[in-house]
Structure 1
Amino acid sequence: MGKDYYKILGITSGSNEDEIKKAYRRMALKFHPDKNKDPNAEEKFKEIAEAYEVLSDPKKRVIYDQYGEDGLKTGGTGSSSGQGTTYHYTFHGDPHATFASFFGGSNPFDIFFGSGRQRGTTNGTNDHGGDHDMDIDMDGDDDPFSSFSHFGFNGINGFHHGGGRRHRNEPLHGGRKKVQDPPVVHELKVSLEEIFHGCTKRMRITRRRLNPDRRTMRTEDKILNIVIKRGWKEGTKITFPKEGDETPENIPADIAFVLKDKGHPLFKRDGSNIIYTAKIGLKEALCGCTVNIPTIDNRAITLPCNDIIKPGTIKRLRGEGLPFPKNPSQRGDLIVEFQVRFPDRIPHQSREIIKQHLPQS
């Protein structure tokens, strides 16, 4: 006994196109895995998408009404004009693509996790936004700072980033224009050392691609080379066009990676500057001292402090920060912020001496 698509959508076999759309909208929102935490919601969400894909297509619906699910998928004979045709249908298996296509790239839940499964290597293009617009040079081999990771764009780590915008159209499929799926965006964490030196990240993705018959699909792996230039800022986006899942009914989504700074044990980043907190005692703050300041390239700079250091005092070491994105031969500054450690207690004799020598406030 095949699936009852009408029952899945909660409608009758006489329902018209508008009723089918309303039913899909209602059921898809109800059982979307981002909203419904029931363990069976994912499977139900997939069944709803499959039912809509069939019943919203007049040709598929005619065959389904006459031969049921088995006839539709194994090849049945049916035609509204009375002429026999052989037709095979296999659900593409991605209910999120159906959801994205139905809502035109927008998402009632703000972010919905979707597909983008992706042998070969590909380099991406980057987008800094604002006044950091740069071209990415994808020539050259991997450097010593390269790494290798794997992503399966099936809703774990990535999110569609459509913002309600429709993407490029391609030729009609089943009487409807193909619409590109929203981009699948992933956060890519990089260390300050990787930003200082530049590096290449290698990501293996698994995706689905159409076979030459343009109906059946295969699963394949692909290596994406993400070349990270010196000084790139957090938020820089590297895009790989149309590297997502490909189905008979969609244009593959773009895959994008957005840089995110990793935490560092010594430094904090402020654009192209880096900040180091130097901790000194009260004696050093009042009487002077010399502090060894570590740098991002594993050197140490001797910083003499002859004046009184107040809590929060800042000293700037010029050109010891990160490279500027547009001019990597130039660097930002290393900013030293002083933190003064006060003693928990002072002996009475010492307190009297301090009173004698310190001015009244």
Structure 2
Amino acid sequence: MHYKDYYKTLGVARTATQDEIKRAYRRLARKYHPDVSKEPNAETRFKEVNEANEVLHDPEKRAAYDALGNNWRAGQDFRPPPGSAYRDFDFNSNENTEFSDFFSSIFGRAFRGETGGTRQRRGEDKTIKFAIDLEDAYKGATRQLKVEGSSGAGPGKQKGKTLNVRIPPGVTQGRQIRLTGQGSPGTGGGPAGDLYLEIELKPHRHFTVEGREIQLRLPIAPWEAALGAQVTVPTLGGTVTLKIPAGSQSGKKLRLKGRGLPGSPPGDEMILLEIVTPAATTEAAKAVYRDMAERLQFDPRAELGL
């Protein structure tokens, strides 16, 4: 039997904190989950990662594993200490899968709950997309989410339940909100897994979003661009007055500091100017354009050398 280096499996140091172990496990579990991974060895790697987390995520169980000593190397022949006291631990796995012989030799009673050999397993964590309005991401909000759960009324029976989800101010695209115990139910009396809501910002009628920064394309008139102007612009916190510098061109960017999504530091609002030319649909308008062409003698293509 070969020794398994659980720290190496998760890619963390032996001195890693519990938060570091948790982050490493979640990253690798998502990478190798058989339902989504395209890696050729995904199922095997997922079982290895799950087993490593099973041991290292709990300080007491981790201490028992560390007591074997830190001179072992992955793949070395291993024999468990005689009369091992580690067999009194109960383990709850995220998946209904067998553990390795190495695991069994150290934590032999780990799979068995106290109900006649029934395996006690923690339910699987779930991740779903959760679409919210940009205004909710800015101000924070409480929204309801309907999820399905087992009804206990027979095979295949399902019922819905409604959860109140608190959206914190400043939440960004892709961030996850954890709902403890709202994932898949456990087996053999094991606890339920967690439900992770992955934030997805709905398209906005005015703004686009990049991280905490919001962006706005602002139409301005030719005379506002040429002469400068004070114009009213929307922000997530309400309207503000923006100064357009004289001589501005389409594509010029202006910044409203701290007007993006809240955070430390908060994001900014970037304004992209876009000059809009009035249509010459009346004789009066056409006369204005003819007068401009005659008086200004402006060649917009002069740099082309044509």
Superposition TM-score, scaled by structure 2 size: 0.52
Q: Residue 218 of structure 2: which of 278, 299, 318 is its match?
A: 278
CA 1:247–1:220: 2 relative to 1, 3 Å: farther
User: Which moves more between the two structures, 231-240 or 346-355?
Assistant: 346-355
Partner of 2:178: 239
Name structure 1 gaps, 5 residues minimum: 1-103, 111-165
Percentage of pairs with the same residue: 21
Q: Structure 1, residues 158-216: CA drift from partner, whole Å, max 9, x if none? A: xxxxxxxx7267536997746556433221111121112111122243311669xxx98
SS in 1 for 2:171: coil
Alpha carbons of 1:255 and 1:348: their partners in 2 closer, same or farther (altered >3 Å)?
same
Alignment of 1:1-361 (within 5 A): 106-107=34-35, 167=94, 171=112, 177=119, 182-208=124-150, 222-246=161-185, 252-298=192-238, 300-324=239-263, 327=264, 331-342=266-277, 347-355=289-297, 361=303
1:70-122 residue CA offsets vs partner (Å, 9 max, x unmatched):
xxxxxxxxxxxxxxxxxxxxxxxxxxxxxxxxxx9513786xxxxxxxxxxxx
CA distance, structure 1, for counterparts of residue 156 and residue 291 of structure 2: 85
Cα offset, 1:343, TM superposition:
5.4
* Higher mean C-alpha displacement, 308-317 vs 196-205: 196-205
Tell me the matched-pair count: 195
**1:38 alignment counterpart:** none
User: Separation in 1 of the partners of 2:262 and 2:148?
Assistant: 34
C-alpha displacement of 1:260:
0.7
Q: Distance in 2 between matches of 1:322 and 1:246?
A: 36
> Given residue 282 of structure 1, which amino acid in structure 2 is its aligned partner?
P
Partners of 1:276 and 1:245 in 2: CA distance: 41
With over 3 angstroms needed to count, the CA separation of the structure-2 counterparts of 1:168 and 1:352, relative to structure 1, is same
**1:240 Cα deviation (Å)?**
2.8
CA shift digits 1:270-314 (9 cap, x unpaired): 22222121101223222222211122122x222222321111101
**Equivalent residues of 1:182, 1:254 under 8 A apart:** yes
Deviations 1:146-167 (A, max 9, x none): xxxxxxxxxxxxxxxxxxxx72
Q: Distance in 2 between matches of 1:356 and 1:222?
A: 67
Contact kept, 8 Å, 2:213 with 2:267, in 1: the verdict is yes
In 1, the alpha carbon distance for the partners of 2:194 and 2:34 equals: 16
Paired with 1:358 and 1:264, the residues of 2 have a C-alpha distance of: 34
Q: CA–CA distance in 2 between the matches of 1:197 and 1:106?
A: 37
Instruction: Judge conservation of contact 1:178–1:250 (CA < 8 Å) in 2.
Output: yes
Structure 1 residues 341 and 210 mapped into 2: Cα distance closer, same or farther (>3 Å)?
same
Q: Indicate the residue corresponding to 1:133 in structure 2.
A: none
Say if 1:350 and 1:189 are closer, same or farther in 2 by CA, change over 3 A.
same
**In structure 2, what is the Cα distance between the partners aligned to 1:356 and 1:226?**
58
Mapped to 2, the partners of 1:190 and 1:254 lie a distance apart of 20
Q: 1:175 to 1:339 in 2, by over 3 A?
A: same
More strand by share: 1
Q: Distance in 2 between matches of 1:255 and 1:342?
A: 51
| Counterparts in 2 of 1:336 and 1:106: CA distance versus 1, 3 Å | same
Taking the aligned partners of 1:206 and 1:358, their CA distance within structure 2 comes to 62
Q: Secondary structure at the match of 1:352?
A: helix
2:218–2:273 CA contact under 8 A, matched in 1:
yes
Structure number with the higher helix fraction is 2
Tell me by how many angstroms 1:234 deviates: 1.2
Give 3-state SS (helix, strand or coil) of 1:231's partner.
coil
- Shift in alpha-carbon separation, 1:239–1:209, aligned structure 2, 3 A: farther
| CA 108–250 in structure 1, closer or farther in 2 if over 3 Å, else same | farther
Residue 3 of structure 1 corresponds to: none
Q: Aligned partners of 2:187 and 2:257: how far apart in 1? A: 57
Amino acid at match of 2:295: I
Contact 1:208 1:245 (C-alpha < 8 Å) held by counterparts: no
One-letter amino acid of the structure 2 residue matched with residue 207 of structure 1: G
